[in-house]
Structure 1
Amino acid sequence: MNDALDDHPHEVREFFGSRADGWDARFPDDGPAYAAGVAAMGLREGDRVLDAGCGTGRALPALRAAVGARGTVLGADLTPEMLTVAVREGRQRGTGLLLTDVSRLPLRDACLDAVFAAGLLSHLAEPSAGLAELARCVRPGGRLALFHPIGRRALAARKGRQITPDDLRAERNLRPVLAESGWDLVSYVDEDARYLALAVRRGEDGAPYGQV
């Protein structure tokens, strides 16, 4: 791995660590969008789900409610300050929190039914490898939700930028990266009020597993 990739986790940790305490206050109205994103996954009672790059844990209560008392919810994040806020806000209840790089998860193969990932793609040093690591941990037929509470155009406008043709989150760019990482993209929504790409883990023989 080159030096730039070696440095990437440290840069991500530094960026979010300095912003953790005020993170939720910057986006106070995102709660309903997170709940709707989780609902769209079609989780069932008893499912095992990971919030990859969980940050301050805004999706954790909705995931916990979706899988019920028999389910398992894990939240993984690289930044200890973000996880500290999740605990302070009580979002860790009934949840296991992992301080780890989601590109190197300390989980066994095929142990999950689903992964929820909010805003994760743009923070992966190697998106294909990161998505493949998530696929490793999900059983064939399991689900992946790549989510953001606002769409690409609205997010770019918020940051004073333009959408570029090479944006990985664009459907035409995302679909082949998911496919080479073990996922089939089955649903894609990119509108001002929500970004949500849903994918299904391919079978062990590479065959599609159908729709979410």
Structure 2
Amino acid sequence: MMTAVRNFFNQRADTWDDEGVRERSAVSERIIRGLGILPGSRVLDVGCGTGLIIPWLLEAVGESGHVTALDIAERMLRIAREKHGGSNLEFIHADIADTPFLDCSFDEVVCHNCFPHVGDKLSAVAEMFRILRPGGRATVCHNESREEVNALHRFIGGEVGLDMLPGIDEMERLFSDAGFVEVSVHDGEDMFVLQARKPE
């Protein structure tokens, strides 16, 4: 399944930024800036794609922080690497359900516009919990409502036609069962934001 998703995004990598992806970037910027990520934070950008939110993450963490951009589609990573650089930015080709990171590696894990495409969501959320430091935060966010996200994927069909963002109750349960606390979900007209914290 993840091979199909990987192929889908690899095939579209070269034209991704021209396919209307940036049309709602103002909402994405508002979401990322609104997270209040602290200077010096170590942040994982899950499903970074061509790097839409990387500039805002780098701005948030400052020179003393670090951003790791992860994606399963290597062509997406190549474009992101060509567009963005810095001594405090690195790119990793991996699946969020099985990462190479040590325990407690990150202060923040941000999954922007990609959670529906995660094949093994249980393992992915467990992995987020493992790689977050105690007190660290996981965020799943979209620059559309849950209903719009799912409708778009059904419309596109093919490899992503069944890639759905689970219901609010299921999302809360996924993160709570993995050990997260303070799980909150906002599903508005123009955005979906779930936040959860790893206990201290």
Hey, what's the Cα distance between the residues in 2 that align with 1:194 and 1:43?
18
Give me the identity figure in percent.
28
Partner of 1:12: 5
Q: Verify the 8 A CA contact 2:175 2:183 in the aligned structure 1.
A: no
1:156 is displaced (CA, Å) by 3.5
Larger helix proportion of the pair: 2
The letter for the 1-side match of 2:185 is Y
**Equivalent of 1:135 in 129, 136, 156:** 129
Alpha-carbon RMSD:
1.7
Classify the secondary structure of the residue corresponding to 1:122. Answer: helix
Structure with larger Rg? 1
Q: Does 1:110 align with 2:110?
A: no
| 1:15-164 mapped onto 2 (5 Å cutoff) | 15-26=8-19, 27-88=21-82, 90-93=83-86, 94-159=88-153
The letter for the 1-side match of 2:175 is L
Hey, what's the Cα distance between the residues in 1 that align with 2:110 and 2:126?
14
- What TM-score, normalized to structure 2? 0.87
**Equivalent of 2:186 in 182, 189, 199:** 189
Unaligned runs of 5+ in 1: 1-7, 162-166, 204-212
- What TM-score, normalized to structure 1? 0.83
Hey, what's the Cα distance between the residues in 2 that align with 1:147 and 1:191?
11
- How many residue pairs get aligned? The number is 190
Segments ≥4 residues shifted beyond 6 Å: none
Unaligned runs of 5+ in 2: 156-163
